[in-house]
Amino acid sequence: MSESPILLTPGPLTTSIETRRAMLRDWGSRDPAFIALTAELRARLLAVARGEGTHVAVPLQGSGTFIVEAAIATLIGPTDKLLVLINGAYGERMVTIGKRMGRAVEAIRWAEDRPVEPARVAEALRADPSITHVALVHCETTTGILNPLEDVAAIVAGAGRALLLDAMSSFGALPIDLSTTPVTAVLASSNKCLEGVPGLGFALVEPPALERAKGVSPSLSFDLHAQWKGFEADGQWRFTPPVQVVAALVEALRLLETEGGPKARHARYSDNFRTLLAGMRRLGFELFLDEAVQAPIIATFHLPADRGLAFRPFYEALAARGFLIYPGKLTQAETFRIGCIGALDRHDFERLLEAVAETVRVLEAA
Ligand SMILES: Cc1ncc(COP(=O)(O)O)c(C=O)c1O
């Protein structure tokens, strides 16, 4: 078996050997040992965001989109209206999901390089009393932009509405404190800042919101109320759980605690980002976002077409050196992305920068 490449992507990403090793055993999904593992998973997920006193953790099989779809299907009722705050592809996806579920959906849009403006949210909520829920993407992975969670949460709660937070690419690294920040439901997945393997999403939800949602979801599988009641009844999953993914995520959560929690992880990712940015600038690459609004999660760089660099050959040359980068996802500019997350530190980024320098020399000489 060849060695794993270094994944500079927003997930699946590079995981630690301990996390991968945790997948080497079989588990009976209805056995007490796995029921205990599931209980540990749910407790640890809550603890990451200090939600023990206010929320419950509801894991769900599938990718991140599955948990977003389940949350919208379950928590937005047929007489509710969802306002989605959009500055990238994942906000747009929530509108698509809401419409597919037959729900009333409105949106406010910003340019991809502009953060959500809380004042415009306040204005929209004042203007339309029929809006019951607001959805925000914490870190828009499309660009890596950070949206102002605290300010939006205060405005939404102050207006008496519910907030759904897509924290897919922030949970476990960027600060989310449910004991002080009013968020009805936080949605995230196993394979980003928690550094688990893909296959599992989860929601941290206020129990009254789930209680109200009995029978609301038009889908059997994407029903967070039924999924929650299943766990509460006997600690078991309703349908076949991805047992190895659960085992890996519990191990990854233990490692997060050992590292010092989200604060320490944030510091490591910030160091990765700073190392990357300084090196890429030395090599003549420009960051797409203003640094003031950039989260240390994933960095978007312009692809300098005037230097004859195209994404495919650039990607392939780096892949041949063991580094997998990510294409851009912008509607406007030619870009590529480099993730700063995963079981990586600045030494990995220093090696990446040497590979980028070498790649640029070869491609520009061609
Ligand atoms: C902010 C955000 N939301 C939702 C998703 C969707 O997750 P998945 O691709 O696992 O379905 C992603 C994936 O990158 C994301 O970054």
CA of 183 to the centre of ligand 1 (A): 19
Would you tell me how many other CB atoms lie within 10 Å of the CB of residue 366? Answer: 7
* CA 240 to centroid of ligand 1, rounded, Å: 23
Residues 110 and 21 in one domain: yes
Confidence band, pLDDT 50/70/90 cuts, at residue 309: confident
Backbone dihedral angles phi then psi of residue 329, each to the nearest 5 degrees: -130, 25
Q: Which of 96, 189, 197 to mutate to test the pocket of ligand 1 (most atoms within 8 A of CB)?
A: 189
Q: Determine the distance separating the centroid of ligand 1 and the alpha carbon of 362, expressed in angstroms.
A: 34
Cα 40 to averaged position of ligand 1 atoms, centre (Å) = 24
Here the CATH number for the domain that contains residue 92 is 3.40.640.10
Q: Over the stretch 243-282, which tens digit does the pLDDT of each residue have?
A: 999 999 999 999 999 999 999 999 999 999 999 999 999 9
Domain termination residue (choose one: 243, 258, 273): 258
> What is the four-CA torsion angle of 60, 61, 65, 68, rounded to 10 degrees?
-10
Domain that holds residue 250: 17-258
What's the mean pLDDT in 90-117? Answer: 98
Residue 31 Cα to ligand 1 midpoint, Å, equals 31
pLDDT score of 2: 66
Residues 246 and 314 in one domain: no
Do 269 and 241 share a structural domain? Answer: no
Asked if residue 210 is part of any domain, the answer here is yes
Domain boundary among 197, 231, 258: 258
pLDDT at res. 365:
85
Residues 295, 237, single domain; the answer is no
Reported as type and span, the H/E element at residue 204 is strand 200-205
The count of domains in the chain is 2
**Of the candidates 171, 225, 201, which has an alpha carbon nearest to the alpha carbon of residue 68?**
201
Residue with tokens 């959906």, as numbered in its chain: 105
Q: Domain boundary at 258, 293, 308, which? A: 258
Q: How many CA atoms lie within 13 A of 95 on its CB side?
A: 15
On whether both 354 and 208 belong to a single domain, the answer is no
Q: Looking at residue 304, what is its pLDDT?
A: 85
Residue 273's CATH number:
3.90.1150.10
The confidence score (pLDDT) of residue 293 equals 98
Q: Give domain status of residue 159, yes or no.
A: yes
- The per-residue pLDDT for range 204-244, each reduced to its tens digit, is 999 999 999 999 999 999 999 999 999 999 999 999 999 99
Q: Closest ligand 1 atom, CA of 11?
A: 14
Helix (H) or strand (E) holding 164: strand 162-166
Binding pocket residue ranges, ligand 1, CB within 6 Å: 10, 63-65, 68, 90, 137, 141, 166, 168-169, 189
Which of 141, 176, 186, 300 is the pocket-test mutation for ligand 1 (most atoms within 8 Å of CB)? 141
- Is the same domain home to 164 and 268? no
Are the C-beta atoms of residues 138 and 166 closer than 8 Å to each other?
yes
167 and 57 in a common domain:
yes
If you average pLDDT over residues 6-33, what whole number do you get? 97
pLDDT tens for each residue of 133-162: 999 999 999 999 999 999 999 999 999 999
Q: pLDDT of 56-99, one tens digit each?
A: 999 999 999 999 999 999 999 999 999 999 999 999 999 999 99
Tell me the Cα Rg of the chain: 21
The answer to whether residue 1 sits within a structural domain is: no
- Asked if pLDDT for residue 320 goes beyond 60, the answer is yes
CB proximity list for 10: less than 8 A, separation 6 or greater: 141, 169, 192, 297, 298, 326, 337, 339, 341
Q: What is the pTM of this model?
A: 0.97
Phi, psi angle pair for 181, to nearest 5°: -110, 120
Query: Residue 1: is its pLDDT beyond 60?
Result: no
